[in-house]
Amino acid sequence: MDPSEVNIPPLKDLTIDNITENVHMINSQCDDPRMKYLLERLVSHVHDFARETRLSTNEWMAAIQFLTKVGQISSDVRQEFILLSDVIGLSLLVDSIDHPKPAASTEGTVLGPFHTHEAQLEGNGGSISHDPEGEPCLVLCTVKDTAGKPIENVKIDIWETDSKGFYDVQYAERDGPDGRAVMKSDNDGVFWFKAIVPVPYPIPHDGPVGQLLKKLKRHPYRPSHMHFMFEKPGYDNLITYVTPSVFCLQSSITDFPSPAALYLRGDPYETSDAVFGVKESLLIDLGTVSAEQAKEYGVKQGGRLITYDFVLVTDDESRKLREEKAMQAMKKLGRRMKLYQGLPVPDVD
């Protein structure tokens, strides 16, 4: 760059007290107002963190080395930065901000790193798990809108581990997808399938994030759960699927789902999920298949049963709620802001 094009305020003699303002100044040349705001807040928080902790050079270097390891262990089948975000509660927080839910609707939770594109389409009554050691479980569900009207033809992605707590993709040698399926809701908003009772399992903890959990004396377990992801045009959070490989290779992603999961009440890790995903509204009690249900669904009487009624929010409902809550939060912070592409930026006009 030609030095004559350098057109920024003089940056010199930077001290503990004036450096933040000066970094803001040099970054203020950015012409994307949202990026400028994100950088301004990021730099303020990073600097405040260093000032409040009197961060030492040794600690700074330990952090540099930790983050480098987190990047370097990531691959097309492992995303350690997402795991890091998960274990400090950031993933759940961002989902809550981006996908606010009206009171009557199904709450979102963390996606986890094990969704794939490979699942087979199954009709109602199909089996999603073929693990002979798993405890069979009948799953009966409906999908409705916030007015209680059934939604037909919703594409539903479902995935769970095998009886040992591993997803299919965690086995180096495998024949194809298992423990996962894609289904469609019928005219009554119903979808049902045969699965196995979910079991608890640890998140990958053989890398830097696992070491961090260990230093914090935290366990790496997630309580027993089954994942769901819903997709239908016009409804929120259901547009683009995410696979592990996308995390590294795809540079522009149009949208992200707010996935759901059902958790078994009474699980030993129910109240200490390593990634903070459990919500009261997503907890279910395992039921028992009645004589009538056994006959209707062709399964054994007395077997395990999960029933759940999902409630989806429309894109419009979600966007409106998100923008309302964003402006409320900004007002509470005392900042004069406006929305730019649906997200807050300083209102400098």
Nearest approach, Cβ of residue 40 and a second copy (Å): 9
Nearer to a second copy, 280 or 349 (CB): 280
Provide the token pair at 103: 């009171």
Q: Across 54-177, where does the E strand assignment appear?
A: 120-121, 136-145, 155-159
Q: How far apart are CA 192 and CA 228, in angstroms?
A: 13
Q: How far apart are CA 168 and CA 177, in angstroms?
A: 6
Write out the binding residues for a second copy, residues 233-252 only, by CB under 8 A: 247-248, 251
Q: How far apart are CA 6 and CA 1, in angstroms?
A: 8
Q: Could you tell me how many residues of this chain bind a second copy (CB under 8 A)? A: 106
Q: How far apart are CA 173 and CA 143, in angstroms?
A: 35
Please report, for the chain, how many H helices and E strands are present, in that order. Answer: 9, 14
Nearest approach, Cβ of residue 222 and a second copy (Å): 12
Q: How far apart are CA 247 and CA 202, in angstroms?
A: 21
Nearer to a second copy, 152 or 323 (CB): 323
Rule CB under 8 A: choose which of 49, 127, 188, 295 binds a second copy. Answer: 49
Nearest approach, Cβ of residue 343 and a second copy (Å): 6
Nearest residue to 327 (alpha-carbon basis) of 348, 308, 304, 347: 347
Binding mask 250-269 for a second copy (x = CB under 8 A): -x-x-xx-x---------xx
Q: How far apart are CA 345 and CA 37, in angstroms?
A: 6
Alpha helices in 262-339 (DSSP H): 291-297, 315-332
Does position 221 interact with a second copy (CB under 8 A)? The reply is yes
Nearer to a second copy, 122 or 236 (CB): 236
Write out the binding residues for a second copy, residues 164-203 only, by CB under 8 A: 200
Nearest residue to 282 (alpha-carbon basis) of 242, 219, 223, 234: 223
Rule CB under 8 A: choose which of 152, 186, 231, 270 binds a second copy. Answer: 270
Write out the binding residues for a second copy, residues 307-326 only, by CB under 8 A: 322, 325-326
Write out the binding residues for a second copy, residues 289-308 only, by CB under 8 A: none
Write out the binding residues for a second copy, residues 52-111 only, by CB under 8 A: 52-61, 64-65, 67-72, 74, 79, 81-82, 85, 88-99
Q: How far apart are CA 100 and CA 27, in angstroms?
A: 31
Nearest approach, Cβ of residue 294 and a second copy (Å): 32
159 close to 114: Cβ distance less than 8 angstroms: yes
Q: What is the longest distance spanned by two Cα atoms in the chain?
A: 84
Rule CB under 8 A: choose which of 103, 147, 216, 348 binds a second copy. Answer: 216
Q: How far apart are CA 68 and CA 62, in angstroms?
A: 10
Nearer to a second copy, 15 or 187 (CB): 15
Nearer to a second copy, 103 or 291 (CB): 103
Nearest approach, Cβ of residue 211 and a second copy (Å): 11
Does position 8 interact with a second copy (CB under 8 A)? The reply is yes
Nearest approach, Cβ of residue 165 and a second copy (Å): 13
